[in-house]
Structure 1
C-alpha cells in the first residue's frame, strides 16, 4: 500500500490499517544508535529502490518531456543510486493495466505522454534494463496485478484498454476499476501480460506489489457475489475463496515465469503485517491491518510453498511502534521465510510526513539497518521511494554512501534456482599503461549447467592486506556483461597492486579466483 500513503483519496484505507496510536512514542531512548557490529560489511546484500511511475512520482517527473529528456532523467536518477550503493532497481512498468514497455498487449501508459495509448517514441523498459546493467544493478519489472485504473476518469482510457474490451472482468471499488480476481480468464490474462515481459526483456526479476484485493474502505463492497456463485462451489465462505483466487494467480505465475526463464527471480512486496496474532495463531504480535485478512493475500503460504523467491514486506513503522513495531515484524518475517529471501521494505519517504515524527530521528533508519544486518535470515532492503533517496531525506543517502554501503555488494545468490558456479576466467593478464593498469582475461567456457559467464568481479589488494575475497572492501569493480577487460585508473604511482578476477553467473554464483597478477603502477 505504498501509494495509498501519498493520496488523500486513499487515506480512509490507511486509517483502517493502524490504530490511532500507531505512531506512538518509541520504547527507550531513540537518540542513541543501536550498537551492533557493522564494521565488516556483507559481500552479498540486496540494496534496492522502488522507482514509481504512477502519477509520475519518481519518473518521468514530466510526462510532457521529450523521449530524450525522459531517458536523460532516468539515467541521471540511476547515476545517483549507483553512487549511493544501490544494486537493484524495482521499476514500475504496469501501474494500471497499461504499459511502460513496447512489447505489450496493453496500451502505453499515460504517465509517459499524458495520454494513454500514445507512443512515447522509445521503449522505457528496454532503456531501463540497459542502463541498470551498465551500472552493475539488477532491474526487476514491477507490476500492479489487479488495478485497472488509478482514478475515475474512465472516458480518458484508450479505446483498446482492457476495461473497454472486457468490461465484465471488472468491478468498481472506491471509484476505480479493479480486475475481478475470482475469474479464471482474468488470472490467465494477467499471467500472459507478465509473460510478455519475461519473454521479451532481459529483466532480472518479476516484482509485484501489495494491491491484490482492495484495501477496505468504509461503505464500499466488493461486487464479486456472482463470481463466487459460479466458481466458489468448493468453499464454505467467500473469504477463503478469495484467498484461493490470489493463491492460484501466484502459483500460475511462479510456474510460468520459471518455465520460460528458470533463473528469473519472482518476488512480492506485501503489506507489512501478514496477520495479527488476534486474527491467526501464527500471526505477529501487532495490531493493525493485514494482508491475510484485508487483501486476501496469504503471502506466508507463498513462501512455504516455494512459489516466490523473495518477499519484501513493507515494514513502514518505527522501532518500538505500539501497534506495529519494526523490530517485532522484522523478527516475525525472518522466522517465516522458509529458506527464501527476505528483503525488508523501508520507508525513508516518511521523513516528509508530519504525522510520522519518529522518522524525523536521523538514527531511525540506520538503527533499522543495524537490526537487519544482525539477523542472518534477512538478506537486505528495498527503499520506498527513489525520489526520497535522491533528495537525501534525513541524510539517508549520505548515511548509506558513507557507512552502510561504503563498499559494493552483489544481490545474494538463490541456490534453489541455480547453485552451479561458472568456471574461472582464463588468460588473465595485467599491464601498466600511462594512466592506469589494464586488466584483460578470457571468458571461461560454459559452466556444468551450460550457462555462460554473465559478468565479472575484480578484486585488488596491496602488499600489507589480507587476500580476503569475502570482504567487499577489496572489490573495485562489478560488471554485468561479458566485456573481458577492466582499466583501473584509481592508482598511486609506484604502488604495488595485486589483482584477482572471478566470473559470476546471472544469479551471482561466483567462480574460483583467477591467478594473482602483481604489478607496479607507473
Structure 2
C-alpha cells in the first residue's frame, strides 16, 4: 500500500497526554488523508505501555507520566475507529538515555553499557548507548519488541536511526574486543571507521535484524517490519546501519530513510541519490522520511507540495512526516495543504509534467 504516514512523539507534543487528545489527532489525520501512524512506544529508557519485561528488570512498568494509562492501547482503539493502521515506533532503540548518564537502564545494568575507545560510556550527540553488539542487550531489545507484537493488535513495528544501530565509536568494551580478536587474531583498530572493523560490527547488527524479522514473521507473517535509518552510506559509517544489505537480504518491508533536509533543492538532491541505490523491486518499499518540524524549523507549504510532487515523479508512492505537531501549527496550515491535494488520492504526474504541477501549486498557494 502507499504509505501516508506520520510519527507521533511524546516530546514537544500534546497528543499522548490524554485519550481525548489521541482521539482528536486520529480524526484529524484520517480527514487529512493519512493511513498509518507511527506512535512512540520506547523513549529515554521507558515504555509508553505497561511492560512486564521492564517491571521485572527495572521495577518501572511504564513511563511515570502515563502511570495508570496505556497510550498504545488508546491509540490502537482510536486509530482503528477511523481506519488508520498502527506501527509502534521504538524510538530510542539501543540508546538508553539522553543526557542522563545512562539513565534507569544502565544504573541497574552497568554491564550493558557501550564503550568508546577510552572505556567511557558511549555518548553521541547527547544520547548514551547500550552495547547493541552484546547478546544480552540484543535479547532484551528483541523481547521488548516481541512483547508488543504478541500483546497488541498492531500492524507492524518500526526501528529508526537507533534500531538497529550503534555509533561507530562504540564496540571497545572488553567482550566485543575479545570477539574481534578471536576472529582476526588482532585487536580492533583505534580508528573506529577502519573498513574491516566497521563492517564486522555492522554485520552483527544486520544479523540481529535478521533474527528480529524472522521472529516477528513467525508470530504473524502479515506484520510489517518498518525501518527509518540514516541515509546510506552515511548511516553505515556513522551508526553501523548497513541498509543496503538489509534490503538485499529482504529484512525490511518498508524503509523510510531520514531525508531531513530544510529546503527543496537539498531534498531533491538526496532523493535522486537514494533512488539510484534502489532496484525496481526495492523502490516499492521506499517512503522517505520528511522533516516538517524540529526546534525552530518549520517546513513551508511550497516545499511540502514540491517534495510530494517530486516523490511521485520518481515513482515514490508515499512518505512519512516527522512529526504530527508540524501539521497542526499556524491553524493546521500544512494539514490544509495536504487536504487541497487531496493527499489520499494524490498520485502525481509523469516527470515531464513536474514544472506544470509546481506552477499549479504556486497558484494554489497564492489563493490559499
CA distance in 2, matches of 1:332, 1:147: 31
CA distance in 2, matches of 1:61, 1:137: 17
Report what 1:50 is aligned to. 7
CA distance in 1, matches of 2:134, 2:93: 14
CA distance in 2, matches of 1:108, 1:329: 43
The yes-or-no answer on 1:315 pairing with 2:259 is: yes
Q: Note the C-alpha offset of 1:173.
A: 2.6
Report what 1:382 is aligned to. 320
Deviation string, structure 1 residues 16-66 (Cα, Å, up to 9, x no partner): xxxxxxxxxxxxxxxxxxxxxxxxxxxx5210000012xx3224575xxxx
CA distance in 2, matches of 1:185, 1:394: 45
CA distance in 1, matches of 2:4, 2:130: 32
* TM-score, with length taken from structure 1: 0.56
Provide the secondary structure at the position in 2 that maps to 1:234: helix
Unaligned runs of 5+ in 2: 55-59, 115-120, 187-195, 348-368
Deviation string, structure 1 residues 144-172 (Cα, Å, up to 9, x no partner): 32011122166xx5xxx432332101132
* TM-score, with length taken from structure 2: 0.78
Deviation string, structure 1 residues 338-359 (Cα, Å, up to 9, x no partner): 3651111111216942xx8xx4
2:198 to 236, 239, 264: 239
Q: Note the C-alpha offset of 1:109.
A: 4.5
Change (3 A) 1:327 1:307: closer
The yes-or-no answer on 1:274 pairing with 2:212 is: no
Report what 1:346 is aligned to. 290
CA distance in 1, matches of 2:238, 2:313: 31
CA distance in 2, matches of 1:301, 1:72: 42
Aligned residue runs from structure 1 range 374-413, under 5 A: 374-376=313-315, 378-391=316-329, 395-405=333-343, 407=345
Provide the secondary structure at the position in 1 that maps to 2:251: coil
Deviation string, structure 1 residues 173-232 (Cα, Å, up to 9, x no partner): 33653110121121122111110001100110100111254557xxxx536241332222
The yes-or-no answer on 1:364 pairing with 2:292 is: no
Q: Note the C-alpha offset of 1:337.
A: 5.6
Change (3 A) 1:145 1:253: same
Q: List 4+ stretches of structure 1 deviating above 6 A.
A: none
Q: Is the 8 A contact 1:149 1:177 kept in 2?
A: yes
Report what 1:147 is aligned to. 95
Report what 1:197 is aligned to. 148
Deviation string, structure 1 residues 418-472 (Cα, Å, up to 9, x no partner): xxxxxxxxxxxxxxxxxxxxxxxxxxxxxxxxxxxxxxxxxxxxxxxxxxxxxxx
CA distance in 2, matches of 1:191, 1:74: 28
Q: How many residues align?
A: 320
When structure 1 is superposed on structure 2, of 367-376 and 137-146 the one drifting more is: 367-376
Q: Is the 8 A contact 1:315 1:344 kept in 2?
A: yes
CA distance in 2, matches of 1:266, 1:393: 34
Q: Note the C-alpha offset of 1:326.
A: 3.7
Provide the secondary structure at the position in 2 that maps to 1:90: strand
CA distance in 1, matches of 2:334, 2:145: 33
* More strand by percentage: 1
Unaligned runs of 5+ in 1: 1-43, 63-69, 114-118, 276-289, 410-522
Report what 1:134 is aligned to. 81
Report what 2:357 is aligned to. none
Q: Is the 8 A contact 2:4 2:34 kept in 1?
A: yes
Report what 1:166 is aligned to. 109
Deviation string, structure 1 residues 361-401 (Cα, Å, up to 9, x no partner): x321211111211233x231100001001225893211111
Larger radius of gyration between Structure 1 and Structure 2: 1
CA distance in 1, matches of 2:338, 2:15: 25
Change (3 A) 1:393 1:90: farther
Change (3 A) 1:334 1:380: farther
Deviation string, structure 1 residues 87-114 (Cα, Å, up to 9, x no partner): 100011001332111244123454x52x
